[in-house]
Amino acid sequence: MKAMQASLVEEVKVGAVPYKGLSSNAKDVVVQWLSKVGRDAQGAPTYGLRLFTVGPDGEIPTHNHAYEQTMYIISGQFECWAADPNTDEILNKRICGAGDMVYVPGMEPHGMRNTSAAEPGQFLCCICTLGV
């Protein structure tokens, strides 16, 4: 077992987010890998748990990836969306706040934005590991 304060885990700025061969920059987003994908030093062979902090008006642009993920909103309010993979039209948009969860299946285009112009928001994101 390993126990530690999450605040001691390194914050990494989220930069370019790839989608359909192009990249868009995330805006004011940092991630802390509380447990890493794969067989890491923390012994997490089947999942990754990440803590995201999104600044005021921060955004993770539309993107997709092969793994599934579940997000749990800790604080703040986020506009979350899913998009049609062929047209990029927004098909499902929801406002989610503390205590809400969002599940995203693999390869579904999705993104989210902090709706506050003054306060950061945080969410946990659990992802499954591929190829383990």
List, for residues 40-98, the tens digit of each pLDDT value.
555 545 678 999 999 999 999 999 998 899 999 999 999 999 999 999 999 999 999 99
pLDDT of residue 115: 98
The CATH number of domain 27-128 is 3.30.56.10: no
pLDDT of residue 132: 43
Strands, E assignment, 84-128: 90-97, 101-104, 110-114, 121-128
Amino acid residing at 64 = N
Nearest to 113 by CA among 68, 69, 71, 81: 81
pLDDT of residue 42: 54
Task: Please give the model's pTM, rounded to 2 decimal places.
Answer: 0.89
pLDDT of residue 41: 56
Helix (H, G, I), strand (E, B) or coil at 126: strand
For the CA atoms of 19, 92, 99, 54, what is the dihedral angle to 10 degrees?
Answer: 30
Task: Report whether pLDDT(109) > 60.
Answer: yes
31 against 128, higher pLDDT: 31
Q: Return d(Cα 19, Cα 102) in angstroms, integer.
A: 20
Q: Cα 46 to chain center, whole Å?
A: 18
Q: How confident is the model at residue 28 (pLDDT cuts 50, 70, 90)?
A: very high
Which sequence spans correspond to the domains of the chain?
A: 27-128
